[in-house]
Structure 1
Amino acid sequence: MTFGAWNMRTLLDRDENVCPERKTAIVARELLRYDVDVAALSETHLAEEGELVEHGAGYTFFWKGLDASKPRRSGVGFTIKNRLVKQLQECPIHISDRVTTLRLHIDNDKYLNVIGAYAPTLDKSDDIKDQFYEELAKCIESVGPGELILLLGDFNARDVRDYDAWPKVLGNHGVGCMNSNGHLLLSLCAQFKLATSTMFRLPAKYKNTWMHPRSKH
């Protein structure tokens, strides 16, 4: 199976948008082009909790957001191929507008727990960040012994290349200098013995997912 993570910026369709199609239809078609089976979505901005099927490209969207009456700057969810949705033993379980989970039956008694997350940005208060990581930690702790964990999403984090300081967590293929969100993420990974993507050797263009609009860093 192929997994991915995508920060949508928004999945909201507005009248003033110049795009003639639903955003979910565009996203589904792009996921099909890359043959992604399951994608963890973040910053969807969709309200409440819902489900939507895009029959054309063959994907189902599941999401969790804040109440429609509240400003929405977060939101998480999953996009799953329709053929896989039919085989699901359990639907996604949404912890909050920042954490969601999907338990997949792999083989016999083996399960993979896919956790989708959208971490608070650097400008958010420590209380908001602490709440997010508490939710995430409880979610990981709830995974049954022997079951696999795949943590996906946008952590608004930058990790350092000092892999000697974070053995078995941080690889030597990172980029840049650590920010405070990076320290929180690595602390969580160290606590639960999770390896980060810096363990894998990738081309430079795949090591970063965001560029500063002014400085271009």
Structure 2
Amino acid sequence: MGLTVGVWNVRSLWQTGAYALMKKELERFRYDVVGLCEVRWTGGGEMEGGKILWSGTEREHVYGVGMVIGEKARKALLEYNPVNERMMYARFKGYPKDIDVVVAYAPTMDHSDAEIEAFYDQLEQTLNVLPKKDVKIITGDWNAKIGKDNIGFEEVMGKYGIGNRNNRGERLLEFAKDQKMYITNTKTQNRKKWTWESPDGKTTNMIDLILIEQKWMKFVTQCRAFPSAEIGSDHRLVLCNVKMKITKRPKSGENIKRVKYSTEMIKEKLIDIRNEIENKLDTKTKYDMKTRVSNLEKVLKTAAEKCEVGKT
């Protein structure tokens, strides 16, 4: 069996019984990692021995993302990071490469363009801290309509979208193009494509999407929505099958790394970090390109570690 990654906007697990209902519904499906949006739990961390990870605000029961981790994936978990109330990631031991799953919950249409740009900036920063050699998958509720016309975006989406594109959809496609990612929902024709339905039942769209790096797209066999999963949400569960394996992490890695980087600290220490880079990066000595790249990586890693605020 390959890897199955999903996304589901659950519209709050804060209410009594919601978490238990979600778990019961997911028991009917085979999955390894399911990204959750609108969890609405505060704080961040894990419970039930790592069966669920989450990242939320400090006090308010709004937004929030999470991950439900299957048994096999729990044994492969290398590290995770609750980035903020709209984003988190987890890394898994895999074959042929380790696999990074990012969960993202984009601002809705009533949020400003500035908030949208801040979201994509943070998402790009999050991808940049992940090892380049890893397979990267992003699951999320993007609150964006990409439409069915893929002209000009053939490398990031197939011909099987839905409806018309809006500005937020355009922004998502530009992001996918910049990051060389592909929207798996659009790969093949499937009558069960739409992922969201309006309260009156008259409008449907495809806004819960799973992205994978283009170079790994050949491993994707299917991505579809499952209307039978019911949790009182106006969103459908979406599952994507990938011909890749997750494997048990080595014994030396039994202690899962839990990293938390503070974007506020990064902003506050930006000048210090810049000085650190300028002081330690030797630009006078003429090194070969391989040595220069190696030195730069070491300096950037040191600067990043100065912003680490501890393990949870």
Task: Specify the TM-score bucket, using the shorter chain as the normaliser.
Answer: 0.7 to 0.9
C-alpha distance after superposition, 1:149-182 (max 9, x if no partner): 1110100111122212112012100110011221
Take 2:176 and 2:65, find their aligned partners in 1: how far apart are those partners? 20
Q: Which residue of 2 aligns with 1:38?
A: 33
1:159-174 alignment, distance < 5 Å: 159-174=146-161
| TM-score between both structures, scaled by the size of structure 2 | 0.61
Rg (Cα) greater in structure: 2
C-alpha distance after superposition, 1:111-163 (max 9, x if no partner): 11111000000110112111111011111222222221111010011112221
Q: What RMSD in Å do the two structures reach over aligned CA positions?
A: 1.8
1:23-102 alignment, distance < 5 Å: 23-53=18-48, 60-68=51-59, 70=60, 72-90=61-79, 92-102=80-90
Q: Which residue of 1 aligns with 2:259?
A: none
Q: Which of the two has greater helix per residue?
A: 2
1:49 alignment partner AA: G
1:1-217 alignment, distance < 5 Å: 1-14=3-16, 22-53=17-48, 60-68=51-59, 70=60, 72-90=61-79, 92-107=80-95, 110-205=97-192, 207-214=193-200, 216-217=202-203
C-alpha distance after superposition, 1:9-60 (max 9, x if no partner): 000134xxxxxxx322221222121111210010011111132228xxxx71
C-alpha distance after superposition, 1:47-85 (max 9, x if no partner): 11132228xxxx7111111112x3x33100111024432
How many residues in Structure 1 have an aligned counterpart in Structure 2? 201
Q: Which protein, 1 or 2, shows the higher relative CO under an 8 Å CA cutoff with sep ≥ 6?
A: 2
Task: Give percent identity, aligned residues only.
Answer: 30
Take 1:30 and 1:215, find their aligned partners in 2: how far apart are those partners? 22
Instruction: Give 1:215 shift.
Output: 6.2
Take 2:186 and 2:129, find their aligned partners in 1: how far apart are those partners? 25
| TM-score between both structures, scaled by the size of structure 1 | 0.86
Take 2:91 and 2:19, find their aligned partners in 1: how far apart are those partners? 23
1:172 alignment partner AA: K
The answer for unaligned runs of 5 or more in structure 2 is: 204-312
Take 1:13 and 1:52, find their aligned partners in 2: how far apart are those partners? 17
Instruction: Give 1:101 shift.
Output: 0.5
The answer for unaligned runs of 5 or more in structure 1 is: 15-21
Is contact 1:7-1:43 (8 Å) kept? yes
SS in structure 2 at match of 1:115: strand
- Cα separation, partners in 2 of 1:12 and 1:198, compared to 1, 3 Å: closer
Take 1:62 and 1:198, find their aligned partners in 2: how far apart are those partners? 25
Take 1:84 and 1:190, find their aligned partners in 2: how far apart are those partners? 29
